[in-house]
Amino acid sequence: MPNRPSASAAQARLVPGATDAAPGQDGWQTDAMDERTFDRSGQHASVIGLGTWQLGADWGDVDDKQALAVLEAAAESGVTFFDTADVYGDGRSEQTIASFLSGRPDLHVLVATKMGRRVDQIPENYVLDNFRAWNDRSRRNLGVDRVDLVQLHCPPTPVYSTDEVFDALDTLVAEERIAAYGVSVETCAEALTAIARPNVASVQIILNPFRMKPLREVLPAARAAGVGVIARVPLASGLLSGRYTKDTVFPENDHRTFNRHGESFDQGETFSGVDYTTGVEAAAEFAALAPEGYTPAQLALRWIVRQPGVTTVIPGARSPEQARANAHAARLPELSEQTLAAIDDLYERRIKEQVEGRW
């Protein structure tokens, strides 16, 4: 995967008071991050991006001021890739991004949205007329004529094998409604089917120290085909921060309360599909592996960034502090062989059996 040099000066935000970059000539500081390329579309993304499901709904309450502060903190820390969806807060996440970027014409952020989960999950809904209507709504929410990257949002499995679906997506590109398209998938098998389509620019998949199967089954194929990989749920919904205990109570309107067993959507989206008790115990072991200078969350992110074939990793953040700490992981030193081996061993012992058969 080509690793762009640091983002250009034009892409670096001037940040008053940032602490982890050298002062600029005028006393302000820049905080650029390495970018990687989506080979098929030629688009670029910071190696650590930002997931913005939290700015919509399903993670307890995040008010508008806090949501804008998260976007600001990420952008000022060098993040140039935001992942959103038309369904996050039923458009609130897209609208918040639009509101933030409209006040920041100097920023160059690649915005990837998703479509398809505001209707019944049947293959018959994945047709050109619906795509146009969904895209019209996202363009309005995002305040753009053309969406940078649109992803099918974990559609029913047969959708990946339907030629007409990809013809319709090509039509959206030809109509200049979108610059490029990709898919967000649940399983490795779905990822491989999508990668075989010639114009799929990106595959978004769960990848983290508790979800390793894509390392073997998806990343090599994506690299060979020039398809970008967007690694989602990188902190296993926060588990890998090592902050939760068996007694942690999440808000009622948080999927970590209401989707623990897949009651509302795929179980794999909550704690990576790992049973909570096992997850908390394994996360405590994981946290103990964090080298000096790393938080456990940063260890997880650094581990993902170093996997060949990953284009960008998109941690969700509920506070500016989290967004900043996550971006900083891109600048931490390489992990030792010993730490890497211990992470592999933890996965083999505690996690693999729970997740590999299903996703």
Ligand X SMILES: NC(=O)c1ccc[n+]([C@@H]2O[C@H](COP(=O)([O-])OP(=O)(O)OC[C@H]3O[C@@H](n4cnc5c(N)ncnc54)[C@H](OP(=O)(O)O)[C@@H]3O)[C@@H](O)[C@H]2O)c1
Spatial CA neighbour of 347 closest among 261, 230, 240 = 240
Binding-site member from 135, 193, 237, 267 for ligand X (CB under 6 A): 237
Question: What 8-state DSSP symbol labels residue 211?
Answer: B
> How far is the C-alpha of 184 from the C-alpha of 352, rounded, in Å?
22
The CB-of-46 to ligand X minimum distance in angstroms stands at 14
Residues 23 to 82 in contact with ligand X, rule: CB under 6 A? 51-54, 59
Q: Binders of ligand X among 328-347, rule CB under 6 A?
A: none
CB of 301 to ligand X, least distance (A): 8
Task: List Cα–Cα distances, 71 to 128, 227, 263, in angstroms.
Answer: 32, 27, 30
Shortest distance in whole angstroms from residue 5 CB to ligand X: 26
Which of 314, 335, 343, 346 binds ligand X (CB under 6 A)? It is 314
Which is nearer to ligand X, 161 or 319 (by Cβ)? Answer: 319
List of E strands, 165-263: 178-184, 200-206, 228-232
Name which position in 74, 233, 280, 343 contacts ligand X (CB under 6 A): 233
Report in angstroms how near the CB of residue 345 gets to ligand X at its nearest: 22
| Choice between 51 and 214, CB closer to ligand X | 51
Q: How far is the CB of 129 from ligand X (least distance, A)?
A: 23
Q: Give the three-class secondary structure for 120.
A: coil
Residues 121-150 that bind ligand X (CB under 6 A): none
- Measured from the CB atom, is 1 or 290 closer to ligand X? 290
Beta carbons of 214 and 181 less than 8 angstroms apart: no
> How many residues touch ligand X (CB under 6 A)?
30
Pairing of strands 43-46, 34-38: antiparallel
Select the residue interacting with ligand X from 96, 204, 259, 312 (CB under 6 A).
Answer: 204
Report the residue number, 14 or 189, with the smaller CB distance to ligand X: 189
Q: For residue 315, state whether it binds ligand X (rule: CB under 6 A).
A: yes
Q: How far is the CB of 325 from ligand X (least distance, A)?
A: 4
CB-CB contact of 40 with 69 (8 Å): no
236 binds ligand X (CB under 6 A): yes
Binding-site member from 235, 280, 289, 351 for ligand X (CB under 6 A): 235
CB of 78 to ligand X, least distance (A): 15
Can you tell me the distance from the alpha carbon of 100 to that of 6, in angstroms, rounded to the nearest whole number? 24
Q: Is residue 214 within the footprint of ligand X (CB under 6 A)?
A: no
**Going by C-beta distance under 8 Å and a sequence separation of 6 or more, which residues neighbour residue 86?**
94, 113, 114, 115, 117, 118, 134, 137, 138, 141, 153
Question: Exposed/middle/buried for 23, CB within 10 Å: 0-12, 13-18, 19+?
Answer: exposed
Q: Token pair of 147, please?
A: 């969406």
Any idea which residue has 């890497």 for tokens?
340
Binding site for ligand X (CB under 6 A): 51-54, 59, 83, 114, 153-154, 184, 204, 232-238, 241, 243, 269, 297, 314-318, 322, 325-326
